[in-house]
Amino acid sequence: MFKEKPHPEEERKVRANDREYNEKFQYANNCIMTSKYNIITFLPVNLFEQFQEVANTYFLFLLILQLIPQISSLSWFTTIVPLVLVLSITAVKDATDDYFRHKSDNQVNNRQSQVLINGMLQKEKWMNVRVGDIIKLENNQFVAADLLLLSSSEPHGLCYIETAELDGETNMKVRQSLSVTSELGDPNNLAQFDGEVICEPPNNKLDRFCGTLYWRESKYGLSNQNMLLRGCVLRNTESCYGLVIFAGPDTKLMQNSGRTKFKRTSIDRLMNTLVLWIFGFLVCMGVILAIGNAVWEKEVGSLFQSYLPWDPPVDNFLFSAFLAFWSYVIILNTVVPISLYVSVEVIRLGHSYFINWDRRMFCQRRNTPAEARTTTLNEELGQVEYIFSDKTGTLTQNIMTFNKCSINGHAYGEVIDTLGAQSKRGQRLDFSFNPLADSDFCFFDQSLLESVKLGETLVHEFFRLLSLCHTVMSEEKSEGELVYKAQSPDEGALVTAARNFGFVFRSRTPSTVTVQELGRPVTYTLLAILDFNNIRKRMSVIVRNPEGKIRLYCKGADTLLFERLHPCNHDLMNVTSDHLNEYAGDGLRTLALAYRDLSEQQWEDWAEQHRSAERATDCREDRLAAVYEEIEQDMMLLGATAIEDKLQEGVPETIAILSLANIKIWVLTGDKQETAVNIGYSCKMLTDDMSEVFVINGHTVQSVREDLRRARERMMESARSRDGGKEEEMEGWVEGCSLANGFSGGGGRGADWQRQQENKQQNPVPPPLPPSTLLDSISGDFALVISGHSLAHALEADMEQEFLDTACACKAVICCRVTPLQKALVVELVKKHKKAVTLAIGDGANDVSMIKSAHIGVGISGQEGIQAVLASDYSFSQFRFLQRLLLVHGRWSYLRMCRFLCYFFYKNFAFTMVHFWFGFFCGFSAQTVYDQYFITLYNIVYTSLPVLAMGIFDQDVPEQRSLEYPKLYEPGQLNLLFNKREFFICIAQGIYTSVVLFFVPYGVLSQAARNDGIPLADYQTFAVTVATSLVIVVSVQISLDTGYWTAINHFFVWGSLGAYFTILFTMHSNILFSIFPNQFCFAGSAQNTLVQPVVWMTIALATVICIVPVLAFRFLKLDLKPQLSDTVRYTQLVRQKKRKPGGRGGRGASGGAGGLGGGAMGRLGRTGSRRSGYAFAHQEGFGELITSGKNMRLSSLALATFASRHSASWIDTLRKKKQAAQPGGGESSPATAPLSTSSSLLGPQDPATEEAANTPLGPACSSAVTPTLARSPGADSTGGWAISLGAVQVRVYRGKCFASLTPYLVLVDTQ
C-alpha cells in the first residue's frame, strides 16, 4: 500500500524458473497485506487518519484556542476529555479490526504450496512464492497465485476449477494448457522449462488474459483459457503445474477486491450539511456577541476599568471584540458536540448487532445468521424505495423439482383440490422398491407410480426418454450412490425423476448410455446427440436399444415441438396443450417430450448427411441445424413435464409486502426472458390482474424507442379511460412526447412532491406538469420486461430518461439477459435520477457491481460463492428475510436515528444557547452560565445514555405490526422523520428551552433571597439552578420522546439524573475543595442552593414552561393528524386493554403471523391462459463434449465392459482404462473446443412466445391473488388469520406461530 511504484507496469515479462531474471522487474511477491498498521505505525497513522475527519480537527483547533489565556473561556479539559474519549474509542476499534486482518493475512500467507526449485519440489509458504516459479497444485487445493497452466495430470492438459470465490459460479470450469507445455509431464522436464511469458500488466478483468509465450523460438498465444486464478479451487484433477504470472497484490482476485467505496447514508449527508449550517450559525452568534462586546467595552467596559482593567494585550474595544469572538466560538461549540458522531456510530453498531442477533433472520438449514457487514447504513434500510434483485439464487433456490407431468393425455401430480386453499397432499411416494432412488426426491401422486408398476408402455417410454435424452454425467462413488452432474438443474431434475420411477441412468460413454430399467441394466447405443441451443429450444438423442431398434427421443419447448409432431397426434396434442397451459399458469417450467422410431435406412441416410454437415467448414452451424430439423419430424407426442423452479421460501409474500410498502422491485437477471417472466409470475411480481405487461425486445435504437413510446401511450390511454378529467393534458403530452425523443428531464424533483402527485391522482392535476410526473400518477398495474440488448440502447444518454420514466410508472420491471455491468448501470440510473434509496440484492459474482453501486447491497449468503457477500453491506441466506430487514430493522433504525438526532440537536441547543442570552448580561465577556465541569460532562455523562438507549431500543410499534401494515414504512421513504424542517423545529424548540432556562431563573433569582436573608442572585447559585433545570428539562423531554421504556431506559434516565446529582454534590463538596481549592471553587453551592424551596420552584416552573407547549403540540398532532404509526400504536393499546381480562389466551398465536401481512394470497389460485413456461437453463455444446469423449478423460476406449456394475465411479474407471489406452488420438482440437461457459448467445426470441406473454388475461382469471388481509371474524384459538395460502406456506407459518413467544398480543380483531 505504501510502496510507490516508479512507473506503472506496461507489460509483464516472466521467465520460468529464473528468479534472477524476474527479480529485475521487482514484481510484487505473493505476500498479501490487507492490514493497515503495525505496532509502531499504529499511533501516528491512526491519529493522522482520525484527524482527517473534519470534526476531530475542529475540536483540536478549539483545544488550541483554549490554551490562549485571553481567549480561553473554558478550561482546556472541557474539550480534551471528550476528544480523547472519542479518539481512543475509535482507535481501539481500528486496532481490533486491524488485528483480525493481521491474523487472517498471516493465515493465508503461511499456507503451504509446492514449489519447483532446482528441479525439486519443495514446500514453501505462499508468501514466499515468486513470480516465475512453477508450483504444483493438487486436487481441492486453492490456487496460490495467478498461474499459467503448464501441464496437468489429466489428458490434453485439461484441468477443472471451481471459481466460486472469484465469480460466484459454482459449476466447474475447464482450463487447458498449451499442448506444447502439457507434454512436459514430470517435474524434471518442467524444471528445464525456460519459456518466457510476455503479457498484460496486472488488471482486474477476471475473464480476460492476453499474453504470449516464447519458447524454443516459437510464439504461442495465451488466453484466459490457460490461466488458473488465485482464489479458484482445483477440482477433479489429480494435480497440475503452473507458472506464476501474477502474485500477491497483483493477482486478479486482489486487484478486484480493492477498497470498497465508502457508503454514506442520506442521513449522514444531511447531518453533515446541518453541521455546516450549525457552524454558520455558530459564527453568526459569535459575530453578534463580538459586536455586542465591542459596544459594551466601548460604552461600559472602558469606564469600568478602574475596577476591571483590560488584559495587557487589549488596548481597544475592537481587539477585545475580536478575542470575544473566539471565546464565544469556544463556549458555543457545544451546539456541535463531538459526541454526536460517536453516539451515531454506537447506535448504528447496536442496530447492527440486533440484525446479527435476529433469530427470525437465521436460516436453520444453512446455519447462517443474518450479518450486518457494515455498521454505517442501518437507518437507510428504512428509506428504501427501489429494490434490484437478482433472480437465480436470490428469488429462486436454483433447485428444480419435477413437479407434474402429463403422459399420453393423462395428468399426474395434480394434488391440489379445486379450492386451491388447502392441500390434500398425502404421503410422499415411497420409492423404497428402488434401491437406486434418490432419497431427496419427492412426489405425491400415487397414480403415477402405479402406472409405472402396471407397466404402461407409454409411461415407461416417457421415463426412458427422460433417462436417455440429456447430457447429464453420472458419478457413482460407491455402489448405488449415484450423483448426477447436470449442466442445467432442469435436466438434473428430470433425470432424477426418471431415476426414482425406476429408469435409472447409471453411466455413459461417448457412445453408450447405460440405464437400469426397473432393476434391469440396459445399455443403449448412443448414435447421436442433437444438441440444444437457444434457437432450436429442444434437444434430441438417437439411440439404438439392445434389440437393435433405433429411436429418436426429443424434448423441448412445446411451441416448437408441436409443430413437428405427426398429424395423428392432434387430439393428444390438444389435451397435452391444456395441461401445459395449466402448468405454465402455475409458473412451472414445461417441456414437451416426443419420440420417433427410425428405420435403419432412415438412420443411415441421415447419418450420412450429418457427417457431411459436420465436416463442412462454412456455415457449419446452419447446416447442422438444417440436418437436425430434418430428422426431428413426424414425432409421436409422449407428454410433457412440469418443473418447478423452486422459489425460495416466502418470496411471493415478501414481494407482496414490500410492494405494499411502496417499494418498487426490479428483477435484473442474466436469465432468458421466458424464464424471467415465468419467475415474475410465480413470485407474484407479475399477475394476471395486471393491465398490461410490456415487452421491450428491440435490437435497434429506433425500435426500443418505439417500444417505450408505445408502452407509455398505452399507459396514458388506460389512465385516460379511467380518469376522463385528465384527458386533454395527457393527449397533449403524449403528442409532445412522441415528437421529442427523450426530454432531458428535470432531475431534481423531490420524491415528496411526486408522491403528493400520486396521492392527488383522483383530483384534477394542475396543467403545467412535467411529463414524468404525469407518468408517475398512472396507477394502473403495468409491468415492463426489457431484455439486455434493448437495455443497452435504453441506457444510452439520450434515452435513459425516457426509459426511466416508463419503467418507474410500472409496478414491476424485469430486465433479462443483462450483464453485470448493465445491472450496475440500471442501479446508477435510478440512483441518479430518482434521488431514491436503492437496494440491490444478489448472490453471485455477477451481482457484485450492482451491490456495490446501490446505496445498500445485500448478499445472499451460503449458496454460491461469497463474492456477493463480500461486496455486500448486509448478508443473509433467504430472500424473505429482506422484509424483516427493511420493514422491521430498517424502519426501526430510521425511526431511532431520527428521534436520536432530533433530540440530540435539541438538547445541545437548549444547553448552549443559554450562554448567548447570558452574554447580554455579563458584558459579552464569554462568561459561561455553568460550572465548567458541567459543560464537560453534560454531553458525555448527564445526557448521553438516555438518548443512546432511546436510539438503540426505541420502538414505536411492535415488529409484527410493521409487517402487518407495510404502509408504516412510508415515512422513511418520504424522509419525514428527520429533514431540514424537522431540524429547524428541533432547533427552535432548543432555543425556546434555552430562553426559558435563562429568563425564568433570571426573573426569579434576581430579586429572591433565601430565608436567612442572603440573596440568591449570586453567580454560583444561578449556575446550579440553570444547570439543574436544564438536566431535568431534557430528561423530561427524553421521557416524552421515548416510546418504549425498557428497564434499560429507566435505568439510564433515572441513572443520569442520579449521576447528575451525585456528581454535582461531589464536585461541590468541601472535601474536594480542600484538596484542590482552585479547581473546585463551587464548593458548597449545591448544598446551599438545592435546599432552597425557591430554587425548586424555579426549576419546576421552568420545566413546565418548557414542556407544556411541546406536550400540547404533540397531543394536537396525535389527535388531529395522527400518523399511521400513532394509530397503530393506539389501537394496540386499546386492544391490550380489552385483552387484559382474557389473560394470556391468544398470545402464542400472535408471533409470526404478522409476517403474513399482505401476503395472504393463493399460491396456486391462478389459472393462467398464458403459454410457454418453457425454460431450459442449458448451454449448448455439452452434447459435443460427450460424444467427443473429451470430458471423459479417455480418447480411445474399449467400452463394452464399461457398464460394469462394480465401477466405483466413472472417473476412476476411465482413469484405469486410460493407463492401458494410448494417449493422443481422438479429435483433440483445443482451439475449437467449445468449452467456454459464457452464455453470450442471444438468439432472436420466438415471436409466438412473446405474443403469448403479452396477451393480457381475460376476466375469468380474476384475483384470488389480491394481497389483502383476510381477517377471520371468529378468531379461533390458534390465531385468527384465515390465510388462503398454499399448503406449504401455511404450514410454515403455523409452525412459526407456535414457536414464537413474543410478548405482544395482537392479531385477533374481534370486531
Partner 1 sequence: MMASSYNAKEEDGHLSGTPGPGVVGADTSKKPDNTAFKQQRLPAWQPILTAGTVLPAFFAIGVIFIPIGIGLYVTSNNIREFEIDYTGLEASSPCFNCSQSYSWNNTKPCTCSVSFTLDQAFEGNVFMYYGLSNFYQNHRRYVKSRDDRQLNGDTSALKDPSKECEPYRKNVKPIAPCGAIANSLFNDTLALYISSNGTQIEIPLSKKGIAWWTDKHVKFRNPGGNNSNLAPVFKDTTKPVNWAKPVYELDTDPENNGFINEDFIVWMRTAALPTFRKLYRIIQKKGMTPTLPRGNYTLLITYNYPVHSFEGRKRMILSTISWMGGKNPFLGIAYITVGSVCFFLGVVLFIIHHKYGNRGNSSDIPS
- Binding site members: 390-392, 491, 532, 555, 589, 669-671, 817, 823, 843, 846-847
H or E stretch including 555?
Answer: strand 550-556
Q: What is the nearest approach in angstroms of partner 1 to the Cβ of residue 283? A: 20
Residue 112 CB, shortest distance to partner 1, in Å, is 11
Complex with partner 1: residue 355 or 704, whichever CB lies closer? 355
Nearest Cα residue to 925 out of 70, 9, 8: 70
Strand ranges in 427-544 using DSSP code E only, listed in sequence order: 473-476, 482-485, 503-509, 512-517, 520-530, 538-544
Burial class of residue 1201 in the structure, from the number of CB atoms within 10 Å of its CB (0-12 exposed, 13-18 middle, 19+ buried): exposed
Q: Which residue has the cell 494585550?
A: 313
Measuring CA to CA, which residue among 755, 712, 682, 531 is closest to residue 1170? 682
Q: Tell me the closest approach of the beta carbon of residue 362 to partner 1, in angstroms.
A: 5
- Per-position b or e across 860-885, b if 16+ CB within 10 A of its CB: bbbbbbbbbbbbbbbbbbbbbbbbbb
Residue type, 315: D
Binding residues for Mg(2+): 390, 392, 843, 847
Nearer to partner 1, 281 or 362 (CB): 362
Is 712:775 a contact under the CB 8 Å cutoff? yes
Q: How far is the CB of 167 from partner 1 (least distance, A)?
A: 13
Question: Cβ 311 to partner 1, closest distance in Å?
Answer: 7
Q: Which lies closer to partner 1 via its Cβ, residue 746 or residue 1109? A: 1109
Which residue's CB is nearer to partner 1, number 72 or number 534? 72
- Local structure of 884: helix, strand or coil: helix
CB 1175, CB 559: distance < 8 Å: no
Q: Which is nearer to partner 1, 66 or 507 (CB)?
A: 66
Q: Please provide residue 176's backbone torsions phi and psi, each rounded to the nearest 5 degrees.
A: -135, 140
Buried b (16+ CB within 10 A) or exposed e, 478-513: eeeebebebbbbbbbbbbbbbbbbbbbbbbbbbbbb
Active-site option among 358, 390, 931, 1246? 390
Nearest to 336 by CA among 51, 49, 56: 56
Nearest approach, Cβ of 306 to partner 1 (angstroms)? 6
Question: Among residues 709, 723, 146, 170, which one has the least CA distance to residue 393?
Answer: 170
Interior/surface letters 230-259, b for 16+ CB within 10 angstroms, e for the rest: bbbbbebbebbbbbbbbbbbbbbbbbbbee
Q: At what angle do helices 620-631 and 600-615 cross, to 10 degrees?
A: 170
* DSSP-derived pairing of the beta strands 112-117 and 134-138: antiparallel
Whole-angstrom distance, CA of residue 1133 vs CA of residue 1111: 19
Q: Please choose, from the candidates 684, 814, 783, the residue with its C-alpha nearest in 3D space to the C-alpha of residue 1286.
A: 684
* Distance from C-alpha of 1026 to C-alpha of 996, rounded to nearest angstrom: 10
**Shortest separation between residue 594's beta carbon and partner 1, angstroms:** 38
Residue closer to partner 1 by CB (options 104, 1062) is: 104
Please name the amino acid found at residue 277. W
C-alpha cell at 1169: 391462459
Which stretches within 695-798 are classed as H helix?
701-722, 727-739, 751-759, 771-776, 788-794
Minimum Å gap between C-beta 1020 and partner 1 is 7
- Strand, coil or helix: what is 1301? coil
Encode 715-738: b = buried (16+ Cβ within 10 Å), e = exposed: bbbbbbeebeebeebbeebbeebe
Which three cell numbers mark 818? 443483462
Say whether 531 is catalytic: no
Instruction: Report in angstroms how near the CB of residue 898 gets to partner 1 at its nearest.
Output: 18
Is 616 or 922 the residue whose CB approaches partner 1 more closely? 922
One-letter amino acid of 855:
H
Distance CA 545, CA 530 (A): 17
Binding site feature residues for ATP = 390-392, 491, 532, 555, 589, 669-671, 817, 823, 846-847
- Min separation Cβ 1277 and partner 1, Å: 22
C-alpha cell at 804: 426511466
Q: Is 398 left (phi over 0), alpha (psi -120 to 50) or beta?
A: left
* Residues with a known catalytic role: 390
